[in-house]
């Protein structure tokens, strides 16, 4: 490996600094939801822009209490679901909470992302029209019921299967 002098390194640094100073980019247009539909933030009025700046992104925190809650909700009877599949989408705002909850259930399961070709094909196969969707199956492989939120999943797992839709 050839040795470089301090002067050569300084020259390279100056070249990189000059190159960095001349970098030209484009303005990024941000779209987000406002009053029920998506629109470019730059076209919003002053009040809505102010509201947008105050928005805070968060990740749901399912700590130890949630793990205990999931174990308590896990089915124990013979009529309970033996397996389930669930469908999510990358841009779905409700999918992360459902996915995190069902992944902790102690029931055999498979997850599909409908943004992929395989996920979309499975969604067609099971007539899934909305995400998140969780389909529970009995030991015989027949569909028992569907749930679309953490609240519904909890209710279905706690209720007897005979009452399920």
Q: Where are the domains of the chain?
A: 29-58, 64-163
Reported as a single tens digit per residue, the pLDDT across 85-111 is: 999 998 888 899 999 999 988 889 999
* Residue 119: CA count within 13 A, CB half-sphere: 17
Reported as a single tens digit per residue, the pLDDT across 58-82 is: 555 554 445 555 454 444 455 678 8
Q: List, as own/partner pairs, every contact residues 158-161 make where C-beta atoms lie below 8 angstroms and the sequence separation is at least 24, other chains included.
A: 158/73, 160/77, 160/79, 161/77, 161/79, 161/80, 161/81
pTM metric for this prediction: 0.52
Residue 114 has pLDDT above 70, yes or no: yes
Q: What is the mean pLDDT of residues 160-164?
A: 48
Q: Give residue 53's pLDDT.
A: 80
Q: Give residue 75's pLDDT.
A: 47
Options 3.40.50.970, 3.30.360.10, 3.40.250.10, 3.40.30.10; CATH for 64-163 is 3.40.30.10
Q: How many CB atoms lie within 10 A of CB 73?
A: 18
Q: Give residue 7's pLDDT.
A: 92
Q: Give residue 59's pLDDT.
A: 58
């Amino acid at each position: 490996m050839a040795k470089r002098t301090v002067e050569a390194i300084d020259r390279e640094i100056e070249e990189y600094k000059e190159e960095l100073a001349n970098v030209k980019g484009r303005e990024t247009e941000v779209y987000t939801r406002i009053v029920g539909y998506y629109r470019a933030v730059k076209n919003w009025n002053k009040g809505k822009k102010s509201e947008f700046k105050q928005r805070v992104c968060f990740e749901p925190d399912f700590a130890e209490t949630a793990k205990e809650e999931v174990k308590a909700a896990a089915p124990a009877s013979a009529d309970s679901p033996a397996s389930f599949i669930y469908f999510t989408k990358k841009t779905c705002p409700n999918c992360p909470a459902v996915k995190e909850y069902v992944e902790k259930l102690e029931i055999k399961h498979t997850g599909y992302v409908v943004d992929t070709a395989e996920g979309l094909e499975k969604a067609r196969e099971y007539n899934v029209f909305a995400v998140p969707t969780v389909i529970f199956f009995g030991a015989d492989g027949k569909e028992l019921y569907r749930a679309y939120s953490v609240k519904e999943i909890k209710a279905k797992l706690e209720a007897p299967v005979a009452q399920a839709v």
